[in-house]
Amino acid sequence: MALVPHRRSKGQLTNASFASASRHGIATLGSASKEETTLKQPPGPRLQNNHLSNPLWDADSAYPGAQNSHGRDKSSLNGQGSDFTDNYTPASWKRYCAIYTSPSITDYQTLLNNYFLRSRKKDDIFQDLAQEHPDNDPQVSIVNDRYMIGPNQPRILGLYGASGYLNSRNNDPDRGYADIAVYSQVNGTIDSSTTHSEGKGWVKHSYYQHVPIPSDAVTVRYGAYVQCPSFDSFDTNNFGAIQVSQCTAKGDTTTSVYGDGVFIKNSGDTIPNPALSVTGAQAQYSWNGPTARKVPLNVNMVHAGDFRWPGTISTSGTTLSAEDYRDFKLITRTKPADIEERAGTDADALSTMLFELIFYENSANIASAVGSTGSGSIRFYAPFVQFLNEENNVISP
């Protein structure tokens, strides 16, 4: 089944929807009843005219930093991953985190906290594929530096936090250019007196793609099926997000970022405002992270020029309640303002849209090196990016 995009008048804001996840799909063999068959269906149908590549993570079975008994190293370079630890990400996807796993200033590997689940329930749960296929399973292998688990199949991505700063190198809230900023969202200004325990910043754990923007595109619509499971609820002030953004090409503090986001949080928790118009120190620690300024064969990021360092931020967004997403539901949002014109000195950088699936961890929850509580998690399925032209028609990829 295809979800048919609705038309809108130019300039009209389409907020994130609360539509229930669809149950359409192929029947699971061996089901005892129609009800059981329905319960085993994927979270929802794949959207058409999707400009993301490999949106179901089914082009391969790569599972970097695998869970359970696989003994995989959860250290990986930002970007595609590290071939010497077999932590390459699934095809077309890259990853980002600011938490260094080593105290050595010459080691740029950061924490890789993800898991991949079956998209059809087994024993009434979306089972972790690393648990279903132990390390001695014949369907576990290393292929082209990717650690593969199970057959290629549509999968659910889960992201979670660190629950601690791991080593003193990360106990540095105002860590700045030309290093990787620890925080990727903040409330207020971060300076040398800031401590993690104040809870003023959030660490980003993300999967992302840089998506080419069609020349006739004026609007972007994006989203995913999302679940915030009740048995792994967000720790205080942690939250999840789906973000799209454009930025100028410079890997320094003059970078401008234009974006839109959906932030999903627990009721009563304090999180950043997704709508920002800030410059200077506050901008540097918000909406930063991966930049498109990379040559094709150099897919990993270790140097200052590889990262965004916003000097100016102009963003919009909305906030949703995690309690409404205990089961998978579709979130879809249309950016209320036209996407930035791809012209001028920074035309090349502005010609791509950064799409991110994110778990944000509040700094107060990493105030010690080793945490005593879990971070919680968020799950994503079938993410999408669509572009619309001046006539509000969806543009085919």
Distance CA 179, CA 255 (A): 15
Lowest average pLDDT, out of 20-29, 181-190, 236-245, 316-325, goes to: 20-29
For the segment 118-140, the average pLDDT, to the nearest whole number, is: 94
260 and 336 Cβ atoms separated by less than 8 Å:
yes
For the segment 182-204, the average pLDDT, to the nearest whole number, is: 96
DSSP class of 100: B
HSE-up of residue 168 (Cα within 13 Å, Cβ side): 2
Q: What is the model's pLDDT at position 335?
A: 97
237: left (phi over 0), alpha (psi -120 to 50) or beta: left
Q: Where are the alpha helices (DSSP H) in 110-156?
A: 129-132
Distance CA 268, CA 236 (A): 9
Q: What is the model's pLDDT at position 82?
A: 84
What is the sign, positive or negative, of the torsion defined by CA atoms of 15, 16, 19, 22?
positive
For the segment 194-199, the average pLDDT, to the nearest whole number, is: 98
CA distances to 17, 194, 282 from 253, in Å: 35, 20, 11
154 and 26 Cβ atoms separated by less than 8 Å:
no
Distance CA 360, CA 288 (A): 13
DSSP class of 5: P
Q: Count other Cβ atoms within 10 Å, centred on residue 137.
A: 13
Q: Count other Cβ atoms within 10 Å, centred on residue 30.
A: 8
71-104 pLDDT per residue, tens:
899 999 999 988 788 999 999 999 999 999 999 9
Residue matched to tokens 């094709």: 296
CA-atom Rg of the chain in angstroms: 20
Residue 8 has pLDDT above 80, yes or no: no
Share the mean pLDDT of the chain. Answer: 89
DSSP class of 352: E
Q: What is the model's pLDDT at position 34?
A: 59
Q: What is the model's pLDDT at position 294?
A: 62
Q: What is the model's pLDDT at position 10?
A: 35
Q: What is the model's pLDDT at position 156?
A: 98
Residue 9 has pLDDT above 70, yes or no: no
pTM, two decimal places: 0.91
Residue 26 has pLDDT above 80, yes or no: no
272-298 pLDDT per residue, tens:
999 999 998 889 999 999 987 666 566
CA distances to 22, 23, 36, 121, 127 from 33, in Å: 18, 15, 5, 15, 21
